[in-house]
Structure 1
Amino acid sequence: MVKEAVGRAFLNVEFTPLADSLHMETETRLLPGITVTDARVAPHRLETCRDPSRESDDFVLLWSPSPARGFAEQFGQVVHADGSTALMSCADRAFCETHETFHHVTVKLQRSVLLPLLPNAEAALMKLVPADNEALRLLTSYLASHRQLMNTEAARTPLFAQTVANHITDLVALAVGTNTDATELASERGLRAARLDAVKRWILARLGSPELNLESAAKAFGLSPRSIQILFTVEGTTFTGFVLRERLALAHRRLSMPLLAQRTVSEIAFSCGFGDLGYFNRSFRKMYGETPSDVRHRSVFARRH
């Protein structure tokens, strides 16, 4: 069934398992002009079929987020599954092989989507993009972030889907190399969005740290503090404003949790990164229109009744 239905009928490839048992987990996201697939597949060999009636002039970027014993080959050039990648052609014969469960991500782009940013796309085919390429790292992070948003209400709107597709296209073009004119557009649109997304994720993982500040974020991303600040300014806020909002939201959630009813308001405030209890109380009331104690009392009352 996998060889016939998934391999030949759906993917137009010859799929050969290389292990006694076969398992395959795939998640595919369809965006305007782009198909993103995140998959884990048991050891296998894969070769594109020769079927002129189904040939595609699309492009695909394939890489493994974690190293694996495998490779992809096209035009006599090989890319190993070590986190690096290369732009591949869907219209030409390609060969892939892996000898262990292979976690890989593919971004398939229609020619009409990529060519405005990469007019000479054929010249970029099978040119190695190392795993430490900034655009590739940001693309990986951006895809992971938006994977979590796919079931939200906003993700179901055409505008959201088109925006995400634009950002992905920009990052792919920047990773494999754009022409001079397109670089500015891609940087302003996709690269900025992915950087902001990565910085936000970094902040959210450190909300409780008293050492969270603009300088530490700039150092973590190899950017100047001003560059980090500009990312937030374009969105209509500041680095400090975003941190404050998220810390207050975290505190509100914790104050509303019955399981944390034994912890004092000050303990929760400090655990969310606030060093000044008075500042915390003033900021909390300004944002939510009630005091932290009000939220705590309501939570305790609801639990008892």
Structure 2
Amino acid sequence: MSFLLQHGYTRSTLDIPKVDREEYWCDAICQEYVKLDCNVDSESAFRGSVRGGVGLAKLRFSEVLADPQHVKRDKKLIAHSTEEDFLISFQLSQEGFVRQGGREAHLKRGSFSLYDSTEPYTLSFNKPFHQLIIQMPKEVLRQHLLEPERYTAVCIDGQQGIGAVLSNFILSLAQELNTVPNMCEDLSDNLLNMIAMAYSSSVRFNQTTDNSLLQDSLRKKVLRFIENNLAEPDLNNQKIADSQGISLRYLQKLFEGQEQSLHQLVLDKRLQKAQQILLDKQQNLSSIEQIAYRCGFNSYAHFSRSFKKHFGLSPSELRE
């Protein structure tokens, strides 16, 4: 097997002593993607290569050719990371498993799945495999697909329907990226629209309201308002409803069936904002209590408990 991507840099275990390959490989994929734990068969002469450094607007393309392995990203690794990305893995050979949010995607050749770097996940490969990965900031995909988090670890079949169209498009694009201008945003937008279409048309949810473009648009406005007002301690459902000129009852109906309640969504976004500030060395002069209040918490004790429950360690432990 060979790489589809015709340019970029390559990291490989080929010239690495066998006893050092597992450590080298873990470092290589952490540098290319996000902080991860990786386990390989230490009894075998592990082989792995990753090609990266290939971009299209705000999308990053990479490829992995490697022997069997198990990759995990847990809450502690997330707590020490600043990346907020979505990743999409396209299975080019053999099979793989993506697990996140209580779901499991069994990827076979041609299929693909989405996962979120800000939530725990595992990737498992029982045989040598080949994958193409597209990585992007979360806000980029959100401009095309409403609440992408609902679709993580959901497998899209690349052998039929829009999934097949998208898989074929991706394969062609990967081989021609070296001839495409890096900042070709129109092509990037078209790709993201196809990804959004694949999920919205192929995945079936028991949510009748999701079929309305008007309601989708309103949900996006609500989420944008929340993002822009996280520092307000009195940000609640009534205030959110008032900002959009809708009733509290309609707001609640708008978010029925979602994985998170609005209250939990606001809390998680505040915690993620606090985590970013705590990891920012330029903010070291701010006390943890000041940061909590800046993120909309009106109780330091509540902030500290919620932070440890969400990330697996306390705010002070994160700062150490």
- Provide TM-score, normalisation by structure 2: 0.49
Classify 1:14/1:99 alpha carbon distance in 2 versus 1 (closer, same or farther; 3 Å): same
Between 125-134 and 167-176, the greater mean CA deviation after superposition: 125-134
Distance in 2 of aligned mates of 1:34 and 1:109: 5
Match of 1:135 in 2: 162
Distance in 2 of aligned mates of 1:134 and 1:2: 40
Q: In the alignment, does 2:37 pair up with 1:17?
A: no
Local SS of the residue matching 2:168: helix
CA-CA distance at 1:135 after TM superposition: 2.8
Aligned length: 177
- The percent identity for this pair of structures is 15
Match of 2:185 in 1: 162
Match of 1:2 in 2: 24
Distance in 1 of aligned mates of 2:198 and 2:97: 19
Local SS of the residue matching 2:178: coil
Please point out which of 59, 65, 81 is paired with 1:40: 65
Match of 1:151 in 2: 178
Please point out which of 83, 97, 102 is paired with 1:76: 102
- Provide TM-score, normalisation by structure 1: 0.51
Local SS of the residue matching 2:191: helix
CA-CA distance at 1:54 after TM superposition: 0.8
Local SS of the residue matching 2:158: coil
Match of 1:27 in 2: 51
Given that residues 98 and 153 in structure 2 are in contact (C-alpha distance below 8 angstroms), is that contact kept between their aligned partners in structure 1? no
Distance in 2 of aligned mates of 1:4 and 1:98: 15
Paired letter, 2:55: L
CA-CA distance at 1:47 after TM superposition: 0.7
Distance in 1 of aligned mates of 2:37 and 2:165: 32
Classify 1:24/1:164 alpha carbon distance in 2 versus 1 (closer, same or farther; 3 Å): farther
Paired letter, 2:28: V
Paired letter, 1:173: A
Paired letter, 1:64: Q
Distance in 1 of aligned mates of 2:160 and 2:121: 24
Given that residues 36 and 105 in structure 1 are in contact (C-alpha distance below 8 angstroms), is that contact kept between their aligned partners in structure 2? yes
CA-CA distance at 1:14 after TM superposition: 0.9
Match of 1:64 in 2: 91
Match of 1:92 in 2: 119
Please point out which of 101, 104, 116 is paired with 2:143: 116
